[in-house]
Structure 1
Amino acid sequence: MSATKYIHIVDWIMHELDQNRLHSGMKLPSVRSLATQFQCSKNTVVKALEVLKQSHILYPKEKSGYFVVDDYKKPLTSNGQIDFLSAGPDPDVLPYEDFQHCMNQAIDRYKEQLFTYNDVEGLTSLRNELVRYLQNMQIFTKTDHIVVTSGSQQALHILSLMPFPNGKKTILIEEPTYFGMIDVLTLHHIPTMGIRLSNDGIDFEELERTFKTGDIKFFYIVPRCHNPLGHQYTNAEKKKIVALAKKYDVYIVEDDYLGELDSDPKADPLYAHDQNDCVIYVKSFSKVFLPGLRLAAVVLPEGLIPSFSQYKFSADFNTSPLTQGALEIYLRSGMFHYHIQRAKEVYATKLALALDACKTHLPLDILYTKPVNGFYLTIFLPERINVNRLIRMLADRNVQVGDTSGMFLKADGNKAIRISISQVDQQSISEGIFHIAVCIKAFQQKATFNPLSLTSNR
């Protein structure tokens, strides 16, 4: 019997609960009657009931049947998709009206510059404002060390292609990592090595060996709110990475795209520990603000500025002065600060709900990351589960998730799904993860179910 058959039974029971035709403490129809209703075997019905039992929705009474748990709280039903796939900001957090005022002011202030080419490094007034803004994130730099790019993707593209003073060719990345970086490296056939990142971090002995022998041009790292794991490096680990980079003449590209969401006021970027001009700091304004702006700031060591500017000029001459001017006004007005405070509260609440749902619904043998900030976590899957089939099963339940295969240099053997909570409303997070748990349990029970063991204590 296929997994989808008893998932159909699970869905029917959940629908009955949602419609209050089944409620707390109520006995379900017998296994025999359900088998007749769904035209399936009794074993198939029991599989469905066992899935709901393991999710604390039902419990069995010996010789009496299955009952709805007394303190059952049904998940709230979402009218549309539960989208754990998209990774943009929460639409309800986006400051449309505030930014519209800034855009109107920017048109008045910079309208003449809309008809001319501007500095390839970006508007001087915005870069001056970025110097002040970045100080709040322990990034102390000068205006002429900042280049404004059309999003962080352009910055990563340029850094990957341009030559570096160390004369090295190979780029080292964490695995898994941001798929956009892997796309750049793959598309341009750039020599690349990976170092495995897990819940426990990276192997520093392996990192040192790789720095020493791998002809490493730079190490691309997402030190906090990691995509897709949600991993955070400690300050001690960051200091160690910077020290190793100095020792072996390796640059570091620090992608701090969600740094504003870090709840630890003592957490520093790698850049704060750099005394030798080896860290390149990339700050995107897409994920925490408005993705359509396509704006990022890159803080460069002095020796890299001429080459970086030359490569940027060859790509697009200059980034839109209108969006640059609007961001400058938004930063200077203080509105960005209040926007970030609200965003931090919203995403922290959502992440807590997601972690609580994982703890409540997922089988005990399913591992998942437990980030403290950001809006990503990863659920690791057993070898016997077909990830693509699981994703299709969830899509049939209006739950969208993505696998992590594109976040590794080689996808083989990396069975996991990424959960992004940024665009999911709070009421739907637990419901979506419940559906994920049900589908995982369906696969597990298909492989291990024993029909002779039907009862257990509540």
Structure 2
Amino acid sequence: MNKFEKVVRYIISLIKEEKLKPSDKLPSIRAMAEEFSCNKSTIIRAYQELEGKHYIYSISKSGYYVIESMEREEDNLEVFDFLSASPDLNVMPYKDFQHCINQAIDIYKNEIFSYSPFEGIYSLRCEIQKYLQDFQVFADVNNLFITTGAQQAINLAVNMPLPNKRTNILVEQPTYYGALESIKNTDCNIYGLDVSKNGIDLESLEHILKNHDIKLFYVITRFQNPSGFSYSNEDKKRILALIQKYDVYLVEDDYLSELDLDTKADPFYSFDDTNRVIYIKSFSKVFLPGMRIASIIVPDRMKNEFIKYKFTSDFNSPAISQGAFEIYLKSGMFHTHIEKIKKVYKNKLDILLEACKTYFDDSIKYSKPNNGFFICIYLPDNIKAAYITNILKEQSVYVKDCSDMYLDDFNKENAIRICISKIEENKIDKGIEIISKVIKQNRKRLNYIADNIMIP
């Protein structure tokens, strides 16, 4: 059992034994990391898993707390899970992958019972190299490494020194919480760039790159978490021109490339002719998160630093997962699985967007990606996202307040994130209807209060 699983089971046992009671605050991320002798990112991921399973909830800048009631575990309540960002369990290929694990035990017994190469099993790296060519990612296998999930790849990329010898980091705002927390734990100064409602402002980007000695820019290529935003090919080319001009590197998180319906939408890496893009490809969101397999492509000039940081991080990623995934990928089963889930998630997103169109009036704006897991709902200024999130919890509708996906001092959008990855198709319409009603009811209440305030 790995540290992540130990933390999850430990907290669940405390809750079930009532050592942690409803509304109790969980130990801090720092305290838990020290207790379990692991990285803070492991604790963050475990707490997010518990939040997705409705054992706990988070309050921005305060911490994590135990949910008031676990009755929904007994199916006494209908739950609308727009919070969890893990894959739909109903479309996971457990039996197929189990066969691959059994084969991997036979084929890779030497690697499993000893230390496997810290770069990753060579034959898997070759398979991923071939697989990525379908997404216009053409890389030398000697620059491609296996990491224990995308979180580790992000940690390594933001922490290792780069040739420009700078320390300031630029991130999208809002952005993936796990990446943001990893970057916050560095000694770097962090700058934010708004990419929410209206895409990216290239003038603002150039101003930041010109004036703040940026080391790297962390971007999510497509279906950004939480907004669902994707960069156009033209914007990718312009951004690459700017990072070359100002001697900046780009860390590209291409976690959902498989779901992109636009066959001409290529990653930043495919347009990079100056070796400034560090390309990260995770398989967690489209496959089995517990497998903890991701890949990272590192340019030649920083490869030695990456090798040093990877080696001191964990020696090697689990050989059993690597071997099983290689067999699954090589057999063509992964391709079949992707074609299946692409349709599942597209159908869910279509239902979601149609429900938003039906139930929201013109005062409620929302993002409209063509696929992926996420959209953002932008609330009226007088209805705060944290308040709506808590009201919805009382009706067993779980959404994410986007405020903790921003830097503390950044001008935050008043928004909630909706995720369709785990919710059942037949619950999406009703869930959005409930969200709409709650927003309208609270808007009426606040308007009434405002209209009837007695001014002395």
Divergent runs of 4+, >4 A: none
SS, match of residue 393 in structure 2? helix
Provide the aligned length of Structure 1 versus Structure 2. 375
Tell me the distance in 1 between the aligned counterparts of 2:441 and 2:288.
39
CA distance in 2, matches of 1:413, 1:299: 32
| 1:102 counterpart letter in structure 2 | C
Residue 185 of structure 1 contacts residue 191 of structure 1 at CA under 8 Å; is this kept in 2? no
Q: Which of 319, 322, 325 is the matching residue for 1:321? A: 319
Note if 1:185 corresponds to 2:188.
Answer: no
Provide the rounded CA distance (Å) in 2 between the counterparts of 1:280 and 1:249.
Answer: 14
Q: Determine if contact 1:363/1:441 at 8 Å carries over to the other structure.
A: no
How far is the alpha carbon of 1:448 from its aligned partner?
2.8
Q: Is the 8 A contact 2:77 2:396 kept in 1?
A: no
Shift of 1:80: 3.2
Which residue of 333, 336, 339 maps to 2:334? 336
* Aligned position for 1:246: 244
Range moving further from structure 2, 371-380 or 114-123: 114-123
What is residue 424 of structure 2 aligned with on the other side? Answer: 425
How far apart are the structure 1 equivalents of 2:135 and 2:197?
Answer: 25
Aligned to 2:268: 270
Q: Give me the whole-angstrom Cα distance separating, in 1, the residues matched to 2:84 and 2:102.
A: 30
SS of 1:297's equivalent in the other structure is strand
| Bigger radius of gyration | 1
| Residue of structure 1 in register with 2:365 after alignment | 367
Q: Unmatched 5+ residue regions in structure 2?
A: 1-74, 450-456
SS in 2 for 1:136: helix
What secondary structure, in the 3-state scheme, does the structure 1 residue paired with 2:109 have?
A: helix
2:137 alignment partner AA: I
Instruction: Name 2:434's counterpart in structure 1.
Output: 435
- The code of the aligned residue for 1:436 comes to I
Three-state SS of the structure 2 residue aligned to 1:122 is coil
Q: Would the aligned equivalents of 1:257 and 1:285 in 2 still touch at CA under 8 Å? A: yes
SS in 1 for 2:191: strand
Sequence identity (%): 47
Q: Deviations over 1:19-40 (max 9, x none)?
A: xxxxxxxxxxxxxxxxxxxxxx
Q: How does 1:132-147 map to 2 (within 5 A)?
A: 132-147=130-145
Cα distance in 2 between the residues matched to 1:78 and 1:369: 33
Match of 1:353 in 2: 351
Kindly state the Cα deviation for residue 387 of structure 1 after the two structures are TM-superposed.
Answer: 2.4
Partner of 1:226: 224
Deviations, residues 222-242 of structure 1 (Å, cap 9, x unaligned): 120110000111111111111
Secondary structure at 1:272 match in 2: helix
Q: CA deviation at 1:244?
A: 1.1
CA contact (8 A) 2:364 2:377 kept: yes
Matches within 5 A, 1:62-141: 80-141=78-139
C-alpha separation in 2, matches of 1:78 and 1:431: 17
1:349-406 C-alpha deviation (Å, 9 max, x unpaired) = 0001101111111232011111111010001112211323212221121111110111
Mapped partners of 2:188, 2:95: distance in 1: 43
**Is the alpha carbon distance of 1:161 and 1:394 closer, same or farther for their aligned partners in structure 2, counting shifts above 3 Å?**
same
Q: RCO greater where, 1 or 2, for CA within 8 Å and sep 6 or more?
A: 1
Alpha-carbon deviation of 1:424?
Answer: 0.6
Letter in 1 for 2:422: Q
Asked whether the 8 Å contact 2:385–2:415 carries over to 1, the reply is yes
* Counterpart in the other structure of 2:146: 148
1:415 aligns with 2:422: no
CA distance in 1, matches of 2:76, 2:435: 15
Give the match for residue 25 of structure 1: none
Q: TM-score, normalised by structure 1?
A: 0.80
Distance 2:313 2:196 in 1: 36
Tell me if structure 1 keeps the 8 A contact 2:368–2:375.
Answer: yes
Q: 1 CA distance for matches of 2:276 and 2:251?
A: 9
1:416-439 deviation line (CA, Å, top 9, x unaligned): 110000101110001111110000
1:73 maps to what in 2?
none
User: Offset at 1:144?
Assistant: 0.5
Matching residue of 2:62: none
Deviation at 1:267, TM superposition (A): 0.6
TM-score by length of 2: 0.80
3-state SS of the aligned residue for 1:92?
helix
